Amino acid sequence: MSTSNGFIANVKRVTETLIDWMSVILLTGIFILGLCQVFWRWVLRDPIIWSEELIQLTYVWICYLGWTIAERKDSHIRITAILNMLPQGAQKWLQAFCHVLCIIFSALMVYYGIKLVGVGMKRTAVSIALNYGLVYVMGPLCNLIIIFYEIAGLVECLTVGPRDYRDKGGDEQ
């Protein structure tokens, strides 16, 4: 049993590190390419034709990676005023229900995302030789990862109890 837990912990660590590094590299690439685009357009008067489209397509990947990171850290924005007023048992079941809804939503995103990848395989970007299937594949991949995070959150909620989302430094004390 500990061997499988060690394997899962290693896969989780490698996946999280890969997602973090991909996010940093892609965001840095967008920043540098954006600077180059401005320099070439306004200083050299010879715009880079493909840069804007590549920035837009890379931004799609960054959004999905950011969604995955926010899911991992349980840092999505949420309104908890009513949740915090509920008894502990009701909080547990409401949070569990929210995890189940997120799992269902992500499963639908995986299903329809795979279909979208199939459609994207038939299209290429206008200014660069990039297949849209490569861009769209980020949706199903990140949603699969999100499903695992949500399952872990559901198990934690049901076994340990609900998370306390109250702001410890705010007016709610």
pLDDT, tens digit (0-9, with 9 covering 90-100), for 7-43: 878 888 999 999 999 999 999 999 999 999 999 999 9
Asked, for residue 173, whether it belongs to a domain, the answer is no
Q: Answer yes or no: are the C-beta atoms of 142 and 26 closer than 8 Å.
A: no
Confidence of residue 172 (pLDDT cuts 50, 70, 90): very low
Determine phi and psi for 164, rounding to 5 degrees: -95, 110
| Residue 84 tokens, joined | 């915090």
Determine phi and psi for 76, rounding to 5 degrees: -65, 150
Asked, for residue 168, whether it belongs to a domain, the answer is no
pLDDT, tens digit (0-9, with 9 covering 90-100), for 42-94: 999 898 889 999 999 999 999 999 999 999 988 888 778 888 888 989 999 99
**pLDDT at residue 4 in the model:** 66
pLDDT at 173 over 50: no
In the DSSP assignment, the letter for residue 39 is: I
Range of the domain at 133: 2-159
Prediction pTM value: 0.84
Q: Which residues pair with 124 in a beta bridge?
A: 131
Asked, for residue 7, whether it belongs to a domain, the answer is yes
Asked, for residue 8, whether it belongs to a domain, the answer is yes
Q: Please tell me the total count of domains within the chain.
A: 1
Identity of residue 83: L
